[in-house]
Structure 1
Amino acid sequence: MPLINRLAIIGVGLIGGSLARILREKGEVGEVVGIGRGKANLERAVELGVIDRYAHDPAEGVSGADMVFLATPVCTIADIVKTIAPSLSPGCIITDGGSVKGDIVRACEPLVPAGCHFVGGHPIAGTENSGVEASFATLYQGRRCIITPTEHTDRGALDKVVRMWQLAGSNVVQMDVEKHDRVVAAISHLPHMVAYSLVNAVGEYDGCDENILKYSAGGFRDFTRIASSDPVMWRDIALQNRDSILEMMDLFADYYARLRALVACGDGAAIERFFASSKEHRDGIVNQAALPSVKEES
């Protein structure tokens, strides 16, 4: 018997489509219903075997589902939960893939009817591409997925969501919502803010008589790859996690100012120490030991 009898995915793109692919591949879902506004994308999802059928009306699409996964921009999640709440079957679990958790969890928990459950989640995986064509079954393999239960979270619902992400290949971590938002502001949201700013700075640089971006090589392209991410999605993230992002942007500005001062005064030894410290931190990320499959964090 599969873990999920009927999975309704609202937002069948990279994130939602990849989850459907791996659960289908492992035989852990009976039926997958895709929900969204884009007919061409949903029809393509059926052709690719990612979903079995689709609906444009969220309330219609979630009918009979025992698991609903929301893979939509973070600013839309609470409104969607409010819309589908009256149509949920008894025992249905709603979870999401939003990279901001505080506002979402606080808004969604009271909206879910008695007998149904909301479990906040965030798979830390993705690419700069979007749409169901970009989805693939191994997206979550070896990646962290943060689950953010609260004192109101049903234990059985929590266990099922954890198991779903473990089956997708993720290393599951449980974390307080506020801690989550601070963590991802540092390791995900700040890098996107930096990449967007860097590309704009270089792209609009007028110190030459031509567009210098055409000379960019592998290093620049690799570093700024995430600046090709969906602007609407990242606009919403910047707004919903504003305080934590601003804190990290200020911290980054401080370190950048330190480096600028070292370059300005020509202190080669100090510049080298600055770079060596950064290399040590980066090498520690690359060489870190394999993560445990389940871990509790306070």
Structure 2
Amino acid sequence: MLKGIEAQLFEGGDNGKTPKYSITDYQKDHYKTCGEIFAVSVAQGGPAPNKKKNGAMTTSAQEQDKNEMSKDNVTDPELIELPEQVDAAGTDTIADLSDRILASGYTGPIIHEWKKAITDAIVLHSAVRIIPMLQQVCDGLKLYSFHDLLREHSETCQQLFVPGHLQKVDAEFLELAMTPIFSEEGSLRRHRECRIINFLQDFIQKLEDEEELAAAEKQGMCNRSADFITICKLFQWLTGQAHIPLIETQRKEFKIRIEFDHDGDARYGDHIICYPVINACAVSITFPTKHLGTYQEFQDIMSQAINNSKEFGRH
């Protein structure tokens, strides 16, 4: 739900997002609803809406100081390049930007010597026009008195809103969280179980390597097929959530229980394939041991299970 809200009402990249300028959404109190969703999400343990620009976080916590605004506060797609264009303009070319400068509310001389005043006006115009949207988000954050908490502990709460603070799900966290329930040491069952755990570790590392390769090639996840599996996608399949617990004590105690099913034939008779069974509420997974004899079998079955699990249920 958070992703859908952010796509509809916020704009910007991975470095931070700010509310879109939309009078229609403002009239319908959509930004207030957005703030309420943020508050509920944090109260229930996440995910945190940590995609907001620092300026938006500051405005949510206190009044925006116009003297502290910078070019980073310009988020309007139509204006975002204008401050740089003004700075780069020469004495003879700055007049070519007159229409766009005047549309920003600037009423002073449009001359080379007044570049700083022009740029400051553009920045202020861009920031001021989204303040009503931010204030409506703040109204929504009053749910559970979260906005009061945000005012009193703005630095502590900053990590919940601003990118770069919260740890993302990675192979290390996932592997440390795995808690296999092994059979008796030295038994044939124990040997099969250890082999499956090794396959799982190799599978997780492969996913992380593919993500790093995609980032290095600057392809991004949006250019990948719907079947492309990421660490976050695997984590959500296993646990029902794609984020690490927000509270440190919960992160340390977080475990994924791994069990093994050696008796598939006794229950199902002669069959060709079995898939792992997930219990997201209990944070556990049960692997069938019969059909996971090689890493290729493991990879194929896991990929099919993850990509075809669109809802809770075995069928």
Q: TM-score, normalised by structure 1?
A: 0.27
Greater strand fraction, Structure 1 or Structure 2: 1
Q: TM-score, normalised by structure 2?
A: 0.26
